[in-house]
Amino acid sequence: MALFRKVLVANRGEIAVRVIRACRELGIATVAVHSEADAEALHVRLADQAVCIGPPPARDSYLHVPALIAAAEVSGADAIHPGYGFLSENAEFAEICARCGLVFIGPSPENMRQWGDKVSARALAARLGMPLMDGTGVLRDVDEAVERASALGFPVMLKASGGGGGRGMKVVRSAEEMRRLYPQARAEAEAAFKNGDLYCERYVEQPRHIEFQILGDGRGRAWVLGERECSIQRRHQKLVEEAPSVAVTEEMRRDLGATLVRAMRESGYTSAGTVELLMDERGRLAFMEMNTRIQVEHPVTEIVTDVDLVEQQIRIAAGLPVELPEDGFVPMRGHAIECRINAEDPETFVPWPGLITEYVPPGGPGIRVDGGIYGGFRVPGAYDSLLFKLIAYGVDRAQAIRRLDRALAETIVGGIRTNVALHRRIVADPDFRAGRLSTRFLERLGVTGARG
């Protein structure tokens, strides 16, 4: 098979720019879609064609399937890359693409349904031999939630079955709290995912968030490309990611990696995906969920493995062979750390859209910037606050930290507030430099609004 002639990028911001760049290197023409608020966005400027698909609200533009399909048809695209977020894990959208003669560059609808529901994903992970956190199935009502949580032992984490990103998640420390928080979590889950189903897991007070990058070709071959540490979060949203994790030993990496390669081969997984796990205080890893898409933090894996994950997604979707090690293990070298630079107040995390009056990204040895902004661009308030990702690479973690510290000091974004100052605090912290991390890191740092 041959590569595609033209790819429509069904996304915006830095991930749309990232996909356009990968297509350009492969000689593939691109179509940008945009809302009225994004008419002057960088991804619109970089693509070969651009189509306006609606007003600013995402439901009327980036989530509006008929407009996306129409844009693909009028522009002559033969494939759609969804990026992350929006429709990237929507099995129905992937099926609609296929019915319209468009290739969906991502996992199959079957893969998305297998892994998309968190409760069924836990059952599948158990069958495939992955380690699991103690938990429940879908809870019928608040009375069963109290009963099952009491059996597990408080505290527990109440979670939405239909999605992630912190929506519908509540730490519950007593039966009384369960009766108060259960209706809130159910309402949040219903609003976010059109699915109010909830379940419980044992809550770990000081966990590390570890995730493994995988690729599958859908034809019986799969690969694991090492792990990432994503423990520094606020309100269950990742803020700093790095590869590899200082908490994962080579033995753990090989043992779990072998399980994941076997699991992805047996499940016929296609394209890129991420298996997310929690590590408890004793260093034990347990499956949490799987994301059937490219991740925001994929650049740190690309840097330490020298594998272009977006290119591999495109090649796999086109039916071309993947030239990676036959044993399924892609080695890592050196260390990479990523900071998400957001348009927000660095203490309260309140979004801060507006006109960027000046933008000077950092550079120098070992620095990569993946972004979707420029000086003079007006950041809209209708979407996620991510401006760009700053990634530093070094031969070891110490060098990566030194380069990241320098790059943050060089970064200039005028006209709006960003969280650069918060990242500089993180990088300067002795616990960060020593690798003493957990999802409670920002609380220990004294950051207001770190929990949510």
293 is catalytic: yes
Question: What is the rounded radius of gyration, in angstroms, for the C-alpha atoms of the chain?
Answer: 21
Helix (H, G, I), strand (E, B) or coil at 308: coil
Q: For the packed helices 65-75 and 91-99, what is the interaxial angle rounded to 10 degrees? A: 30
Residues facing residue 404 across a β-bridge: none
Which DSSP helix (H) or strand (E) runs through 201? strand 198-202
Q: Are 261 and 329 in contact (CB under 8 A)?
A: yes
d(CA 449, CA 438): 16
Tokens matching residue 308: 């272009």
Beta bridge pairs of residue 358: 414
148, 265, 293, 315: which is the annotated catalytic residue? 293
DSSP secondary structure string, 359-426? Answer: EE---STTEEEEE---TT-EE-SSS--EEEEEEEEESSHHHHHHHHHHHHHH-EEESS--SHHHHHHH
Place of tokens 């599958």: 216
> Which residues carry out catalysis?
293
